[in-house]
Amino acid sequence: MTENVHPDFPQNPAPGFLLASQRTESTFEEIPVIDFTDARSSDASKRRALAELILHASVNVGFFYLKNHGMSEKRITGALEAGKAFFALDTSTKMELDIGKSSNFKGYTALLQENVNPAGLGDLHEGFDIGWEPELPSDEDAHTARRITDAAMSGANVWPSNFPGFKEAVLAYYHDAVRLGKLLFPLFALALGLQEDFFDDKITRPAAIMRLLHYPPQPRHVNVEGRQIGIGEHTDYECFTLLWQDPVGGLQVRNAAGKWIDAVHIPGTLVVNLGDQFARWTNDVFKSTPHRAINRSGEERYSIPVFFGTDYDVPLEPISTCVSPENPAKYEVITAGAYVKSRLDATYANHAN
């Protein structure tokens, strides 16, 4: 035990240990801000202290802001501008990349085409989705064997033709985000009382899905009891999400008392939230918290989530620190890929138009 680490944070926790951390009342009013500087520290006690902050945010809120995350502002602006230019194209050009035509959930989602909340009438945003793409050809060679067992939503990305610079700007952001995600996994492992490298062989070709999102202003007459909003109430499907949002605002997080807490824009930060793969893996010690977005600003809103799952062939087996004889595993074991695909199928099958 190092002096910076809380005594409740043992190095070799027993099975069931983290069940004691299960939140009972997530009536949070604020979303914590966590400084990520120590993620890159060579001092293990600093990384463990950071992991402890992440543990608390994960069991009590399911959301936190990351500051000093290290992502390049230039790349963020590049991806944002690329998204704005893409969404400004005419609808027929965008519909050439219609996600509905894709067998692996890649491409363009028109306004109201998606519906994350089955009680909703379609989500008031348009989007552009990509999945894994290697940064260097050698990344791909190293994982050829894995491709064979990949789930249905892996496979080639689609890109607009005659649109110079778009693919480069989007992929530059994507690879920055993947690097950041790969730094977060070891911290979540430490937070769960696991070896820091627990996820390493499970994220060789991570199921990182990136979306460019555009939320037009909410028309006043359409807000039928919240049933047609920017993105309806939902939980995310993967392990965690890294979200960049512009200053327009509109993201809200629901606490256990049913109160919507604004996840306001904090300059220089990214929002991290946990998803259902982690909830399943941790037997609900990490809970994925419901959230939604409503753009009431009267301005256009843009955001860029990247959803981080493990490699698609990894089974979501409950983690030992989160299971005990009194609290047996709640969820059936399923591969990460099969789980995410089932959720994506539902999202696109639900749409109201």
What is the contact surface with ligand AKG in residues (CB under 6 A)?
Answer: 211, 213, 231, 236, 243, 245, 251, 291, 293, 303, 305
Cβ-closest residue to Fe ion?
A: 236
The residue among 143, 196, 131, 136 whose CA lies nearest residue 337 is: 131
Using CA atoms, how far apart are residues 159 and 168, in angstroms rounded to an integer?
A: 10
The stretch among 40-48, 71-79, 99-107, 231-239 that binds Fe ion (CB under 5 A) is 231-239
Range 312-347 burial, b when 16+ CB lie within 10 A, else e: bbbebebbbbbbbeeeeeebeeebbbebbbebbeeb
Cβ-closest residue to ligand AKG?
A: 303
Considering the complex, what minimum distance in angstroms separates the CB of residue 321 from Fe ion? 26
The distance of Cα 89 from the centroid of its chain, to the nearest Å, equals 27
Q: Which is nearer to Fe ion, 195 or 342 (CB)?
A: 342
The residue among 269, 237, 48 whose CA lies nearest residue 153 is: 237
Q: Which is nearer to ligand AKG, 78 or 127 (CB)?
A: 127
Considering the complex, what minimum distance in angstroms separates the CB of residue 31 from ligand AKG? 13
Considering the complex, what minimum distance in angstroms separates the CB of residue 88 from ligand AKG? 19
> What is 163-174 written as a DSSP string?
-TTHHHHHHHHH
Q: Given its phi and psi angles, is residue 112 left (phi above 0), alpha (psi -120 to 50 degrees) or beta?
A: left
Considering the complex, what minimum distance in angstroms separates the CB of residue 117 from Fe ion? 11
Q: Which does 251 bind (CB under 5 to 8 A by kind): Fe ion, ligand AKG, none?
A: ligand AKG
Dihedral over alpha carbons 61, 66, 67, 71 (to 10 degrees) = -170
Q: Which is nearer to ligand AKG, 20 or 264 (CB)?
A: 264
Q: Which is nearer to Fe ion, 209 or 323 (CB)?
A: 209
Number of residues that bind Fe ion (CB under 5 A): 1
The stretch among 10-18, 131-139, 230-238, 262-270 that binds Fe ion (CB under 5 A) is 230-238
Q: Which amino acid, 51?
A: A
Considering the complex, what minimum distance in angstroms separates the CB of residue 302 from ligand AKG? 8
Considering the complex, what minimum distance in angstroms separates the CB of residue 76 from Fe ion? 19
Using CA atoms, how far apart are residues 71 and 63, in angstroms rounded to an integer?
A: 19
Q: Which is nearer to ligand AKG, 35 or 246 (CB)?
A: 246
**Residue located via tokens 């070896």:** 195
Q: Which is nearer to ligand AKG, 49 or 210 (CB)?
A: 210
Q: Which does 115 bind (CB under 5 to 8 A by kind): ligand AKG, Fe ion, none?
A: none
For residue 238, state whether it binds Fe ion (rule: CB under 5 A): no
Treating both helix axes as pointing N-terminal to C-terminal, what angle do 166-191 and 73-87 enclose, rounded to 10 degrees? Answer: 130
- Give, for 48, the enclosing helix (H) or strand (E): helix 44-60
Using CA atoms, how far apart are residues 240 and 189, in angstroms rounded to an integer?
A: 13
Considering the complex, what minimum distance in angstroms separates the CB of residue 128 from ligand AKG? 12
Q: Which of 236, 238, 284, 313 binds Fe ion (CB under 5 A)?
A: 236
Q: Which is nearer to ligand AKG, 293 or 344 (CB)?
A: 293
Report CA-CA distances (Å) from 293 to 251, 307, 322, 337: 4, 17, 31, 26
Binding region for Fe ion (CB under 5 A): 236
